[in-house]
Amino acid sequence: MARFGLAAALCSLALGQAHAAAPACGEFGVGYYEHGALYYQTRNGWAGIDKDIIEELSRRTGCQFRGQLESTVRIQTGMEAGRLAMTVSSIPTPERNQYARSVVYMSSRHYAVLSKMVPPAARTMDGFLASDYKVGVVRNFHHSPTYEAWLANLRIKGRVYEAADMPALVRLLKAGRVQALVLLPTNWPLLKEAGLLEQVHLLDWAEPQERIRAGLLLSRKLVPEERAEQFQQAILAMRNDGTLEAIFRRHLGPELAHAMIGF
């Protein structure tokens, strides 16, 4: 018994030393922004796909994440300046790749959302461009190439309104200040909540192969490369074991969920 007790004590000591030697994951600030089913407010607080993914990431890695609600402009400014460690549901771009790494967990398509007050002649990209109608976007959002080119032409004409966040953008449409939006399907619940889903046309104007990819954006300054790799592996495991799809299903239903993790 004495020998067993000594062996157990030595084993316990060795495990304790190994645990102490393991580097702590640490805490990372996460910038959230309101974005339909991705992050939204309920009676019981904030909820959404992005929140669930971060909580699962914490459970799998042991890292702590400190969330903060910000505008997309403040988030990207903080990321670029090295003041914010990470954000969610971000589309990687060459500019962002300069200061951050991307871990993709969703893909989708942008759609044109047109008020039913817009006549048939203006319900194409060219027709809308030839009209006097206006479109609204969230400031600092990126869209698929077809829409970016279209928006660039409309900006020259002064017909693009930029809102601070998604709820403000939907209010612009509801008030009639803009007649079109460019949105992802994750925002259909936001349109429904505002009573607009039955008052708009959802039009797919992008090229068939155009899908955006989005996910975590990790600061190169504040998130070490080995930690970014750990997050990448955790997201991959979540996708492989069905957890990622289950999270999307919880907020969007089965059809959209399956489509959005098919990257």
CA dihedral over 139, 108, 222, 65, signed as positive or negative = positive
Residues of the chain with pLDDT > 90: what percent? Answer: 81
What confidence score (pLDDT) does residue 255 get? 86
**Sole residue written with tokens 């339909």:** 36
Residues of the chain with pLDDT > 70: what percent? Answer: 90
Exposure string of 194-229, with b = 16+ CB inside 10 Å and e = fewer, is eebeeebeeeebbeeeebbebbbbbbeebbeeebbe
What confidence score (pLDDT) does residue 263 get? 60
pLDDT, one tens digit per residue, over 32-78 is: 999 999 999 999 999 999 999 999 999 999 999 999 999 999 999 99
Report how far residue 183's alpha carbon sits from residue 35's, in angstroms, rounded to the nearest whole number. 10
Are the C-beta atoms of 112 and 203 separated by less than 8 Å?
Answer: yes
Q: What are phi and psi of 33, to 5 degrees?
A: -145, 150
Name the pLDDT band for 13 (thresholds 50, 70, 90): very low
When the pLDDT of each residue in the chain is averaged and rounded to a whole number, the result is: 90
What confidence score (pLDDT) does residue 259 get? 87
pLDDT, one tens digit per residue, over 76-125 is: 999 999 999 999 999 999 999 999 999 999 999 999 999 999 999 999 99
Q: Which domains does the chain have, with CATH numbers?
A: 27-107+211-260 (3.40.190.10), 111-203 (3.40.190.10)
Burial of 151 (0-12, 13-18, 19+ CB in 10 A): middle
Q: What are phi and psi of 182, to 5 degrees?
A: -120, 115
What confidence score (pLDDT) does residue 209 get? 86
What confidence score (pLDDT) does residue 99 get? 97
Are the C-beta atoms of 187 and 40 separated by less than 8 Å?
Answer: no
Name the pLDDT band for 18 (thresholds 50, 70, 90): very low
Residue 1 has pLDDT above 90, yes or no: no
Specify the 3-state DSSP secondary structure of 214: strand
Report how far residue 135's alpha carbon sits from residue 238's, in angstroms, rounded to the nearest whole number. 37
User: DSSP character for 216?
Assistant: E
What confidence score (pLDDT) does residue 208 get? 85
Residue 141 CA to its chain's centroid (Å): 11
Query: Higher confidence at residue 84 or residue 209?
Result: 84
Are the C-beta atoms of 89 and 38 separated by less than 8 Å?
Answer: yes
Query: Higher confidence at residue 25 or residue 151?
Result: 151
Burial of 183 (0-12, 13-18, 19+ CB in 10 A): buried
